[in-house]
Amino acid sequence: MHSLIWLIVIGIFWITLAPKQIGGRYTYIIVSGNSMEPFLKNGDLAILHPSEAYQIGEVILYRHPEIGSVIHRIIAIEGDRYTIQGDHNEWIDSYKPARSEIDGKLWFHLAFAGKIIKGFRTPVGAALLAGLLGILLFWPDRESQKKRETSSLACRLRNR
């Protein structure tokens, strides 16, 4: 029963927060660099979701055609183009993404969670994670253990 509860919890978590890459709504990105400090730091995990509209002041993730994904703040909107700047940067981004190039706005972030995830991307980290999940899923609960003990005792008493 304990394993079933864990599977249900993990399933609900997965369905609710599934990444965009596998059909979910959310985009996950590990912050790299210091351009958004002090708000977002290197190694933070940022979780973003799509929006119908983006406003000045919101932190967004956009796809730059040359450098890839960039997470910065909207400082101006000019038609369908957005002027973007990192909080720590003194300069404004030269590229102005269109609405279609925005992957989402920041929903929330977890400090240092990206560093932990990067640790699990190593062979040792992946093995530790698999072991931890195995323990959580297959650790016997007290009720199951009592049933086994009672069943075992009953079998021994019958065999006498």
Domain interval for residue 19: 2-121
Residue 111 lies in a domain: yes
Kindly state the average pLDDT of the residues 49-65. 95
Over 70: is that where the pLDDT of 124 sits? yes
User: Considering the entire predicted model, what is its pTM?
Assistant: 0.70
Residue 159 lies in a domain: no
Q: Which of 15-24, 89-98, 107-116 has the lowest mean pLDDT?
A: 15-24
Over 70: is that where the pLDDT of 149 sits? no
Express each pLDDT in 19-53 by its tens digit. Answer: 777 777 888 999 999 999 999 999 999 999 999 99
Residue 100 lies in a domain: yes
Q: Which of 1-10, 14-23, 70-79, 148-157 has the lowest mean pLDDT?
A: 148-157
Residue 158 lies in a domain: no
Kindly state the average pLDDT of the residues 93-116. 90
Residue 127 lies in a domain: no
Over 70: is that where the pLDDT of 159 sits? no
pLDDT band, residue 91 (cuts 50/70/90)? very high
Return the CATH number at 102: 2.10.109.10
Q: What is the tally of helices (H) and strands (E) in the chain?
A: 4, 6
Longest dimension (CA), the chain: 88
Over 80: is that where the pLDDT of 76 sits? yes
Instruction: Please count the other Cβ atoms lying within 10 Å of the Cβ belonging to residue 131.
Output: 10
Number of separate domains in the chain:
1
Task: Compute the residue count for the chain.
Answer: 160
Residue 138 lies in a domain: no
Q: Kindly report the backbone phi and psi dihedral angles of residue 71, in degrees, each rounded to the nearest multiple of 5, phi listed first.
A: -115, 110
Residue 99 lies in a domain: yes
Residue 37 lies in a domain: yes
